[in-house]
Amino acid sequence: MDKIVESYQEADINFENMELKKLKKYALRGNLRAQNTIGDRYYIGDGVEKNYEEAFRWYKKAADEGYNVAQYNLGDMYYCGFGIEKNYIKAIELFKKAANKGNIEAACNLGCMYEEGDGTKTDYEEAIKWYVKASEQDDFYAQYNLGNMYMYGKGVAQNYQKAFQLHEKSAKQGYMKAQNTLGYLYEEGKGTLRSYENALKWYEEAAYQEYPYAEYNLGGMYYTGKGVEQNLRIAYAWYERSAEHGLEKAQKALSEKF
């Protein structure tokens, strides 16, 4: 009962801006959020020297007591091999614990692991299950990934309409990869009516975030005059920016088109 009362009383405390010495007092009293916050401090080197082993130790304290954010963070350390030997099986175990308590980042990561076969056999249906769980909570990464599952027919019948809807949700939250894909779907008229103007708009949204594929696609719109007056000077500028960001097909376009 004491622990429940303490948790209620400390729910609104701003641990993020608290000095480490005071923060540790709460953590040593068993406050799980304080323990996780100390883990964050050591993980990123906020006010202390970066120390993955110490971050791992504090995350584990909170994770072992069932705190879903710490379970996610600990799973991520196992996934990346930070502070501990890389272990996808342990990562999946921890992500599942966190995801089943509503942690959307953990659910999205599980989707990725099942899609890619990291620490488990590739299982598109299981990937979709976790992507759906996260996307229903408006996670833009999960919406994008789930949209791709529908676009390419992975574990589900190919459905461009569904892919369009999911990419649109993700794109409206500012995710540049989804914005670029939405531009493509508008340009090709897949899952929606073809609209070069809308394609141009979404390519621009992603290109101004310096996403090289969108920069390349925007260059193509200006080169061909789709949805905009043809302008080879602007086309060259976007191809050049894409090339500078490492996209080989943009480098090839510069040499072949100009």
* Residue pLDDT, tens place only, 31-53: 999 999 999 999 999 989 999 99
pLDDT tens digits along 110-153: 999 999 999 999 999 999 999 999 999 999 999 999 999 999 99
- Domain locations in the chain as residue ranges: 1-74
pTM value is 0.89
Please state the length of the chain: 258
List pLDDT tens digits, range 200-235.
999 999 999 999 999 999 999 999 999 999 999 999
pLDDT attached to residue 16: 80
Q: Of 224, 160, 214, which Cα lies nearest the Cα of 189? A: 160
Q: What share of the chain has pLDDT > 70, as a percent?
A: 95
What pLDDT shows up at residue 19? 82
| Distant-in-sequence, close-in-space partners of 189: CB < 8 Å, separation ≥ 6 | 195
In the block, tokens 């994008």 appear at: 144
Cα separation, 91 vs 73, in Å, equals 10
Q: With a cut of 90, say whether residue 8 has pLDDT above it.
A: no
Confidence band of 7 (pLDDT split at 50, 70, 90): very low
Is the Cβ–Cβ distance between 169 and 146 less than 8 Å? Answer: no
